Chains A and B, each alone.
Chain A
């Protein structure tokens, strides 16, 4: 197996970009054929699973069988586990080996150090000692975490992501069972912490894997303590109580429940394609989830009240390759850094638990290096930001200074209030324009002063007119800035909301073309608006200069007239 190849994981996000429809179709055909073949080979399948291997149409008739089984589930689980193990030859052999060995980890560590070639075998058996499947949810998460704050074991996250991508339009999703041997091999891969690429598998295998994982959980997701209370809440349709109970769940359980229910709801919402309504979906999953049909349908139908604003987002694993692939935006870097640190903590945990091998050590250094790089980049970015903000304040100071100059020259009381407002006005995008305008204004004022100094009597009057003009100009410009800002905000929120919709749609497999066209149209509109804005600004500037000129001329004429008089 390509245990150490970073490429597999790197490719993983690409999972979602693949063309779903074609993929799904071919899967569907392959799946059925293979199912039959393997079902014939696999004589040993447990009675509980047997009905699953038949065609979907028959399952509906057998449904009632599922319920009586539910009660015996716990016992069966144990039986099945013990049955499962001897079935796998590899696992079997390794288990024996492990038993022969003394259990002290120190000795194993030494062995690994001595010979790197044997690493994988030793580690493999160690991993089987600490599996991901069949252990309490929290422990499973610790051994198989997502590194992005969602406390959901990676195996479930991967399965849900896969089904969200490929299964929302598939008839009988979760009902059609996958090839058992493949499910089993996936389970082993997860137990061994190998990077798994689910795109290589059929939808039915993935849904079976998720069901298997849930089935093997020792405790119900709703926890043994709260399960009966949840049932009561469903009985009385008490949303408030259910909300309270959800908040009482441990973090892992809460996240798992949320993701499962939201995911299941999206399948039921696509009933038209999936042919899965609340009832028959419940039939398939209630035994696995260890809850009653009533509770299941309560959770699903009241999803919006119980899990408000819960949105599934696909898992993007931490990057595995340094420099050229690192993000450059501050936010992306911060997110990535968090993921990498989570991954680093996980590697340390695993190593402290005895999983020491060359591959792990290399991973440790690699992740550490990515973290170092990200930290450095963030630092550089922060420094740059600091510089930019300093320059910005400088420019603003300059502008304010200009305004003050004008103000002192005109010696008007009004200047104070106006200046303070203009100082506060956020001069971001239109800074340069304002600077230009104020520049020409002040030069005009200078000229004016030069021409008027000869006549000290009229100077005050002219300046007063002049300042009034300038002040109104400032007020107008300010209004204009505010208007523009509003417009920008409006367009940005519009863009952002459209962006969210686009993402959501992409996830739920709606046609993407239409929205992308929308988006580019909006961008074009935005560009057009920007262009128009620039033109407007230019013409406004010109107009104002002309007006100022004219007014000065009028005033000069008036003064001449006055002097003649």
Chain B
């Protein structure tokens, strides 16, 4: 394992969460293959890997596209546990999907047990402005409450698609560097230390 890490570029593990039909797969496929798929097909779970250049450094990104439906909640924990960063997606045209971001956030915090886990709130379907149900303010204030960035995207027009993935990777990378430092000092107090920091901020 250690050998592999030394040979291969850094690997960042990103997980897409959000309720069904908000465009998690569409965002993923747009980022991966520059394609936009119109027809809706519920995802059970899909995983992708891509080599990208992040600020001049070659890294690999692993994207896990999860099911929005509750039916697959049983296997979700196994995935959440291994994620290093999360894109929590909702559709700006659907208020329910915005409300359920709370549940996803809770689930992630429960599994990861870490409030500072790299996390982005993503309002997708930004191109459908005439059907907007979730206001920018609403979304921004929730993001602020959680202490996470909020970005609006459009998988259709590719607006901000790269941005959300790259921003998240930067957060993951920063977090990993911190962890290395933390591990040199104290091992298990990581979580607590971070929480304190967060409060001060």
A114 touching B188, Cβ below 8 Å = yes
Contact among B47, B75, B188 for A372, CB-based, below 8 A: B47
Binds B, one of A141-149, A348-356, A500-508, A554-562: A348-356
Q: Is A15 positioned at the interface, with any CB of B under 8 Å from its CB?
A: no
Give Cα distance in the complex from A322 to B1, angstroms: 17
Q: Is B82 positioned at the interface, with any CB of A under 8 Å from its CB?
A: yes
B188 touching A361, Cβ below 8 Å = no
Contact among A115, A348, A359, A369 for B48, CB-based, below 8 A: A369
Contact among B47, B82, B188 for A369, CB-based, below 8 A: B47
Q: How far is the CB of B139 from chain A (nearest CB, A)?
A: 30
Which of A351, A369, A372 has its CB near the most chain B CB atoms (within 10 A)? A372
Give Cα distance in the complex from A356 to B78, angstroms: 8
B81 touching A361, Cβ below 8 Å = yes
Chief secondary structure at chain B's binding surface:
mixed
A4-B1 contact in complex given A114-B188, A115-B187, C-beta closer than 8 Å: yes
B82 touching A359, Cβ below 8 Å = no
Residue of B nearest to A110 (CB): B113
Chain A residues lying within 8 Å of B78, measured Cβ to Cβ, are: 347-348, 351-352, 356, 361, 364
Chain B residues lying within 8 Å of A322, measured Cβ to Cβ, are: 49
Give Cα distance in the complex from A242 to B146, angstroms: 67
Q: Is B134 positioned at the interface, with any CB of A under 8 Å from its CB?
A: no
Q: Is B64 positioned at the interface, with any CB of A under 8 Å from its CB?
A: yes
Residue of A nearest to B75 (CB): A348
Chain A residues lying within 8 Å of B79, measured Cβ to Cβ, are: 364
B47 touching A368, Cβ below 8 Å = yes
Give Cα distance in the complex from A150 to B22, angstroms: 39
A360-383 contacts to B, CB under 8 A, are 361-362, 364-366, 368-369, 371-372, 375
Contact among B1, B62, B113, B188 for A365, CB-based, below 8 A: B62
Contact among A115, A356, A359 for B81, CB-based, below 8 A: A356
Chain A residues lying within 8 Å of B45, measured Cβ to Cβ, are: 368
Residue of A nearest to B43 (CB): A372
Q: Is A358 positioned at the interface, with any CB of B under 8 Å from its CB?
A: yes
B34-87 contacts to A, CB under 8 A, are 45-49, 62, 64, 74-75, 78-79, 81-82
Give Cα distance in the complex from A115 to B45, angstroms: 28
Q: Is B13 positioned at the interface, with any CB of A under 8 Å from its CB?
A: yes
Give Cα distance in the complex from A369 to B61, angstroms: 12
Give Cα distance in the complex from A368 to B72, angstroms: 14
Contact among A4, A358, A371 for B46, CB-based, below 8 A: A371
Interface string of A199-224 (1 = CB under 8 A from B): 00000000000000000000000000
Residue of B nearest to A372 (CB): B46
Give Cα distance in the complex from A115 to B183, angstroms: 10
Chain A residues lying within 8 Å of B113, measured Cβ to Cβ, are: 113
Contact among A4, A114, A364, A371 for B82, CB-based, below 8 A: A364
Residue of B nearest to A367 (CB): B47
A-B contact pairs, 23 of them (CB 8 A): A113-B81, A114-B188, A115-B187, A347-B78, A348-B78, A351-B78, A356-B81, A361-B81, A362-B82, A364-B82, A365-B13, A365-B62, A365-B64, A368-B45, A368-B46, A368-B64, A369-B48, A369-B49, A369-B62, A371-B46, A372-B46, A372-B47, A375-B46
Known: A352-B78, A359-B1; 16 extra A-B contacts, CB below 8 A, are A114-B187, A114-B188, A347-B78, A348-B78, A351-B78, A361-B82, A362-B82, A364-B78, A364-B82, A365-B64, A365-B82, A368-B46, A368-B64, A371-B46, A371-B47, A372-B48
6 smallest beta-carbon distances between A and B, as pairs: A368-B47, A361-B82, A369-B47, A372-B46, A351-B78, A348-B75
